[in-house]
Structure 1
Amino acid sequence: MRRALGALAVMMLGLLMAPAAARADSPARADSPARAGSPTRADSPARVALIGVPGLHWHDVNATDTPNLWRLAGQSALGSLSVRAVGRVTCPYDGWLTVSAGVRASVGSRCGFPPALERRDAGAVIPDFNWLWTVRDVEDAGALGEAVHAAGQCTSAVGPGAVLALADRSGRVDRYAPSPDKVTDWSACRVLAVDVDDLIRPYIQADRVADVPEKLSPAQRKAALKAADAKAGAVLSLLPADTSVAVAGLSDHGSEPHLRVAMWRAPGAQGRLLGAASTHRDDMVILPDVTATMLTAAGVAVPPTVIGVPWAPSSAASLQDGTTSLRRADVAGQTIRSIGGLFFTALAVLQVAFYAVAFLLLRRRRGLESVRVAALALASVPVSTYLINLTPWDAAEAPAPALVAGVLVCAGTLTVLALTLPALWSRLRGRPRAAGVLGPSSVVAAVTAAVLLADLLTGTPLQLDSVMGYTGVVGARYYGLGNIPFALLATAVLLVATAVADRLVRVGRRPAAVALVAALGGFAMILDGWPGVGSDFGGVIAFVPGIAVTALLVAGKRVSIVKLGAFCVAGGVLVMGIAYLDHLRPPGSQTHLGRFAGQVIDGTFLPVIMRKLGAMLSTLLSPNLMPIVLAAFAFLVFALLRPGAASAGVLPVAFERAPMLRAGLIGTLVSGVVGMLVNDSGAAVLSMALALAVPLVLSAGIAALAPAPPATPAPVLRPLPTS
């Protein structure tokens, strides 16, 4: 957490020093031998062993059922392993292959065990290994074994999965044993992997993982755990004393993804949580990190194609506290994954119903205050999904109901504050009738912006395991600003900025109003795109035109299509500049922004673009997202074109009473539309921008229907009486 609090300062210093560091650490060519050696090496090469236990999660590990693993946990750093590879569920095949490649990899539709191998002297070979993975577009398979052999060391594998992880590009491992009891020399090689498949084997049926969450009964699961623990214990008792040991639950079991076990027994690791720079989390790592960890521990150069980074023990934690928090992390991720679809469906239904009811009531000018309260409540829901993470809802007996109830309570509380704080402030100023048109809406927008900005500056603890954020179980993002939070942040910042700008324009300080929009928007945009803070590529492209259009409108200028296109290009140039600076840093310190800049430089970026384009287009058919977009846009358009019939004229009145509100709304729409086109979340960006902006603008419009407070007359100087 302390690292996250200083993220801006550290990253700015790092980027300023990046060119010199890059020149010192590696030459310009990404494929040169020196470049491959630029990642961190171990100070003194040691033995390293990976014990892969596919399907193992922290709910399995305890002193009774798994005494050997529990004892090892007490000697190790402990973390959650996000095993997300390519598909929703990671099979053991995918897990071992990802360790082999150092990047997320999948074998496609097959989800069985590693292919058959042939014994060769003391070792083994997977026949046609290079061809086998090339036809499946897994070009980096064998990177781990190839790097070990290039360093002049040998590999030792126990079990077929271990062969897949340690095989070089020809499919060869130097030493092989089918099971631990067949190993004759545990010290023959510095790099060792052991396949303990007892937990996953019952779930594999005809090269598929069982399509049920739990195929085994509790008694059968306990028996499988005991067998796996006994095998792991036998390995631990035979390893040389100087061996660093990694235990990884390399895959899912059944049809539901989970966070899995990660343990790291090495000098200085005991009694700590286990994190990595890849996740920017103190207690979470990813599968490709296993590759970098093993190579670094063995003193072998990490190839530049490996996207993982070495595991890093972090904050201190007792065995009991550590395992409890890691179990809760899996519960939180499972809960978010399971209710996410239902939540967005309910949100879409509420939004569409709100616009329909608001249309009917506004036409009749009835129930306006109820519509206003409902609008504020709907707009308060998004930020409440982050605020609830300030509470331990995942420790409740029924976490899903606790989460939903907590979100509703937060939204209700914020709605009450939005309705009361502006009036209270006006009374304190001695102007009880001057609460203002934008007061309640500005409170909701300000809280939303403040929460998301504070979250960015503290390492995004609120977005992790949030229903409108992300989770390690899904594994799409682990830190930074997600696409939905970006939409909410951009909308909130622009609406808050224009609310303050409106007051400045009224007192004749239009230049200050323009500067405020540019400064506040620019600050949020930099945090959004800065590597290691927001790390949001598409968000910067969308934020820049939204800020620029809003500032121009506040300045009283016209916005043309040419100017709008130029602003979008400027956003692209800016984020590519940030990405290039990130790319200049050593590979192990880069974020996905820097890696994308490298792909642009070497011409391999097109598959990334096409994949994101495909993901964006698929969201246009989302039954949860598009109804929000269509309903909100239809309401806006009709309300503006037919104000008397559609909304009792609330929007024109609002724009008349608070002229800068129009600038904020248009800037929000620009950011939302551009964000939809340049982000893989597509319609999610625009739908969430509209879900926040339109209710707040409507609430301001209803407030504008109230008679304006009478102006306070200026004092008149009376002539002095003559004597």
Structure 2
Amino acid sequence: MTQARERRGALARWAGAALAAFTAALALPQAAHAADEPEADGVVIVGVPGLAWSDLDPQATPNLWDLAGTGASAAMSVRTIGSWTCPEAGWISLGAGERAGGVAARDAQCSAQSQLRPPVDTGSGWTVEDWDAFVDVNSALNYGARLGSLADALAEAALAQETAAAEAEADGEPAPEPNPGSCVAGIGDGAALAAADTEGRITYWAPGLDSLAAAMDACDVVIVDPGVVIGDTADNAPDTTTDYDQLGEDDTEVGTDATSAEPDPGEIAPEADPVRDAAVAGADTAIGQVRAALPDSWRLIVAGISDASAPGSLHPVLYSGPGVEPGDLTSRTTGRDGYVQLTDLTATALAVVGADIPATVAGAPVTVLADPGRTAAEAVDRGADLTAASAANADVSPNFYWTLSFVGVAVMLLAAHLVAGPDRFRRTARTVCIAFSAVPVAGVAAGIPPWWRADHPKLAFWGLIIAGVAVLTLAASLPWTRSGIRPVLVVAGTAAALIAVDQVSGATWPLHTPMGYTAQAGARYTGLGNYAFSVFAAAVILLVCFIPWRGRTRVWGPIALGVCAVVIVGAPMLGRDMGGTLTLVAAGILCCLKLWGKRLSIGAVLAAGGIAVAVFAVGGILDYLRPEEDQTHLGRFVGSVLDGTATQILIRKASAAWGTVGESMTWITLAALVAAVLIWRKRAPVRTDAVAAAVVGLTAVALIGGLVNDSGMSVPGFTAALGFGLLAVAVGPRHDTPAAPATEPAASAPAAT
């Protein structure tokens, strides 16, 4: 009994130390942000739906080209509701500072949402017609968009100024100089949607640019709709029929619309589209008018505010004015140089004029990463490359997922044959299981080289996948690595190390691979995506179970490895994955208990869940206590719990998870379940603590991860893709050939008589 108490006490001390180490890692400060930009007297935002980097040309668009060279720029995700964003949704999202949808039907050519109506003149001002319809539609979408947040934030700033002046006057002190321009003015029909307040009212509106000077006199934030949508003609449009929402968030096929300013001599230049060229010229002329009227103390933002048709894409943002140097733009919401989101423009406008950014605005002010020597051509090439990378990644992703899933169905059944079938073909089955488990690992590594710049990006991508699988399979088949559990340690160790190194070095690879995330989706740019998390968690579970621990390392080895893995997944400066943190802590505890020969009672399961929730809560609270500009979505989720909006987030994530049922990775999950049943019926139980612990750990990752992450069925799918085949290799084949029975000595023949 004394020894048992000592062991339990040691386990408790290790668990406490692990929790302390994790929370300490969560509390580490992030790198300091760049200094705040100087304030300007005001800002003009010109939105040009459909504007692409390929539209910028020194001869055809001199104003846009000059802005690219004299200001800062970025590729912007305009993703709102659905896989492409039409103009109406883009304008209304700019005013809300959150993803919002339009009222008109969203067809593939955005024809309905491009026909915007002017606001109604009430005699005492302007109001958006049928504003209540916009509010009702977005209430149903459950993204928490508060339409008109931009205008309301400026109105609150004006009210705060009046209150401060009244208090100063009452105290007999000099009143601060009032700013009568704390409002939003709109020029053009689309701008009316962005300039409206929460009641649909607009402080100042005019139909054309001849009123720009009056708008700037009235308000210090002016939004301009030049009245053009830069799209292709119907014959040249990339898609007119497919509703990409029916394919799911990760199945959006996107065509590359960005090329370098100067095409290679060997390339065939695309056929000119007179409709698009005329729209681009009109937008550039309007931007020239704005620049001519803009005071020196004002800033200018020109942005491709939305797509013009399906499929979606990244669009340019050009930022200029006092205090803005040439270079890249970034924001806290992306954490990536050269990338911003549509909602960041809302926060930037408020920051420029010194207004508080309300919690309803999801974006963050952009930061300029100065590069004084950068030219317009370099800026355009940079934006075009980022856009091409995102488009190429979205283009190869559906084929990657479906290939992985369909091949995985066969491999899951082959793994069952390896473990519980006859001896025939077992060596082939073992090799195939190892090779297939290497596919998601190769998918992570594929983001290292710039494969999207190849003449044939799809071929380059699949070439990298095949090469990665071949190298890793060969590494696991060498004379000193092919026996026993060594192939499992090679593949799982490579997967865990590769993802860990990527996270520690800044998570630069997943942005350009299907195993990570696409920039145009706008949901995540840094940290650990759900697909990579599934692979990482499965690899860690296998390492914990099958590393040949000896002596005391059998206890502290798995704990140390697990703590390091949880820090990589959950720390704000690393993985930033709140669902993954919850999943890995619970799965890791259950796995270790089984590895140490403990019985998994209901109490043990509840305790594991409680510890996981405690780690999640402590990490979230510590993140929430940091400055708002440093918080990750873990801390912001704690804020949403406090302000009562967490329910909307959870419902939206649950809806997204449910929407993955029936998608590509569902089939490999079902195949793994069928294969597990076959193994259980033919060869159960496999009585070793390591195998039992691996089964418990992988099952927990798949089940909990699928429930708490919005990727749903993809989590168990990718967990099975790496873990199931390797677990079958670790268990090994069942030998059906019985040993030859001992032979009895032959009886002596009777002597002949």
- In the alignment, which of 47, 59, 66 is matched to residue 64 of structure 1? 59
Q: Note if 1:601 corresponds to 2:630.
A: no
CA distance in 1, matches of 2:375, 2:679: 59
- How far 1:456 sits from its partner (Å)? 1.5
Question: 171-180 or 688-697: which moved more?
Answer: 171-180
Report the Cα distance in structure 2 between the residues aligned to 1:8 and 1:211, rounded to whole angstroms: 50
Q: 1:328 aligns to what? A: 385
Give the corresponding residue for 1:86.
81
**Residue number in structure 2 paired with 1:100:** 95
User: Paired residue for 1:546?
Assistant: 587
What displacement does 1:464 show? 1.0
Contact 2:94–2:194 under 8 Å retained in 1:
yes
Cα distance change of structure 1 residues 87 and 666 upon mapping to structure 2, 3 Å threshold: same
State which of 654, 659, 681 in structure 2 corresponds to 1:641.
681
CA contact (8 A) 2:620 2:635 kept: yes
- Aligned positions of 1:452-491 closer than 5 A: 452-491=499-538
Residues 612-647 of structure 1: per-residue CA shift (max 9 Å, x gap): 22222232333x22221121122223223313xxxx
The aligned residue for residue 376 of structure 1 is 434
Amino acid at match of 2:493: A
User: How do residues 248-327 of structure 1 correspond to structure 2 at under 5 angstroms?
Assistant: 248-314=303-369, 316=371, 317-327=374-384
**Cα distance change of structure 1 residues 343 and 13 upon mapping to structure 2, 3 Å threshold:** closer
Residue 91 to residue 10, structure 1, CA distance change in 2 (3 Å): farther
1:612 corresponds to: 653
Is residue 2:209 matched to residue 1:162? Answer: no
In 1, Cα distance between equivalents of 2:451 and 2:288: 36
Q: Which residue of 2 aligns with 1:450?
A: 497
Change (3 A) 1:113 1:517: farther
Closer, same or farther in 2 for the Cα pair 1:217/1:697, shift >3 Å? Answer: same
Deviation, 1:120, is: 6.2
3-state DSSP of counterpart to 2:520: coil
State how 1:431-442 maps to structure 2 within 5 Å.
436-442=483-489
Give the SS at the match of 1:306. coil
Residue number in structure 2 paired with 1:432: none
Amino acid at match of 1:599: S
Amino acid at match of 1:693: G
In the TM superposition, residue 403 of structure 1 has moved relative to its aligned partner by 1.0
CA distance in 1, matches of 2:388, 2:184: 37
Task: Give 2:27's match in structure 1, choosing from 2, 5, 12.
Answer: 12
Q: Does 1:55 align with 2:62?
A: no
- Asked whether the 8 Å contact 2:95–2:150 carries over to 1, the reply is yes
Q: In structure 2, do the counterparts of structure 1 residues 532 and 62 end up closer, same or farther at CA, with 3 Å as the change threshold?
A: farther
**Aligned residues of 2:228 and 2:283 also touching (Cα < 8 A):** yes
Mapped partners of 2:421, 2:635: distance in 1: 53
The match for 2:204 is: 175
- Determine if the alignment matches structure 1 residue 398 to structure 2 residue 456: yes
Report SS of the residue matched to 2:519.
coil
| Partners of 2:216 and 2:580 in 1: CA distance | 51
- Identify the residue that residue 413 of structure 1 maps to in structure 2: 471
Structure 2: gaps of 5 or more residues? 1-21, 106-112, 159-181, 243-254, 258-270, 738-753
Aligned length: 647
> Which residue in the other structure is 1:710 paired with?
none
User: Separation in 1 of the partners of 2:88 and 2:151?
Assistant: 17
Amino acid at match of 1:367: F
How far is 1:8 from its partner? 11
The alpha-carbon deviation at position 553 of structure 1 amounts to: 2.1
**TM-score normalized by structure 1?**
0.83
CA shift at 1:202, angstroms?
Answer: 7.5
Aligned to 1:662: 692
Partner of 1:24: none
AA of the residue aligned to 2:118? A
Match of 2:283 among 207, 212, 228: 228
Aligned equivalents of 2:668 and 2:183: distance in 1? Answer: 58
Deviations 1:529-566 (A, max 9, x none): 22342221211221112111221122222211321122
Alignment of 1:559-708 (within 5 A): 559-622=600-663, 624-643=664-683, 652=686, 660-702=690-732
Match of 2:157 in 1: 151
Q: Deviation of residue 704 (structure 1)?
A: 9.6
CA distance in 1, matches of 2:625, 2:23: 18
CA positional deviation for 1:259:
0.5
Deviations 1:511-534 (A, max 9, x none): 322211111112111221223422
TM-fit CA distance, 1:128: 5.7
- CA distance in 2 between partners of 1:696 and 1:530 (Å): 28
CA contact (8 A) 1:470 1:478 kept: yes
Closer, same or farther: CA 523–412 of 1 in aligned 2, 3 Å: same
Amino acid at match of 1:560: S
Q: Residues 202 and 418 (structure 1 numbering): CA distance in 2 closer, same or farther, change over 3 Å?
A: closer
Q: Would the aligned equivalents of 1:15 and 1:585 in 2 still touch at CA under 8 Å?
A: no
- TM-score (ref. length: structure 2): 0.80
| Contact 1:84/1:90 (<8 A) preserved | yes
Quick one: structure 1 residues 73 and 16, their matched pair in 2 at CA, closer, same or farther if it must change by over 3 Å? closer
Decide whether the 8 Å contact of 1:276 with 1:285 is kept in 2: yes
Matched residue, 1:126: 128
Is the CA contact (8 Å cut-off) linking 1:379 and 1:692 kept in structure 2?
A: yes
Residue 349 (1) aligns with residue 364 (2): no
Q: What is the deviation of 1:491?
A: 0.7
What displacement does 1:139 show? Answer: 5.5
Instruction: Report the residue type matching 1:577 in the other structure.
Output: V
Kept in 2: contact 1:250–1:287 (CA 8 A): yes
- Structure 2 residue identity aligned to 1:412: A
Residues 492, 540 of structure 2: 8 Å contact kept:
yes
Larger RCO: Structure 1 or Structure 2 (Cα < 8 Å, ≥ 6 residues apart)? 2
Residue identity in the other structure for 1:146: D
Where 2:155 maps in the other structure, the secondary structure is: helix
Aligned residues of 2:328 and 2:370 also touching (Cα < 8 A): yes
After superposition, where does 1:354-369 map in structure 2 within 5 Å?
A: 354-357=411-414, 363-369=421-427
Gaps of 5+ in 1: 1-6, 18-39, 426-434, 644-648, 708-723
**Contact 1:186–1:240, Cα closer than 8 Å, also in 2:** no
Matches of 1:203 and 1:576, distance apart in 2: 53
Q: Equivalent pairs: percent with the same residue? A: 31
- CA–CA separation in structure 2 for the residues paired with 1:582 and 1:576: 10
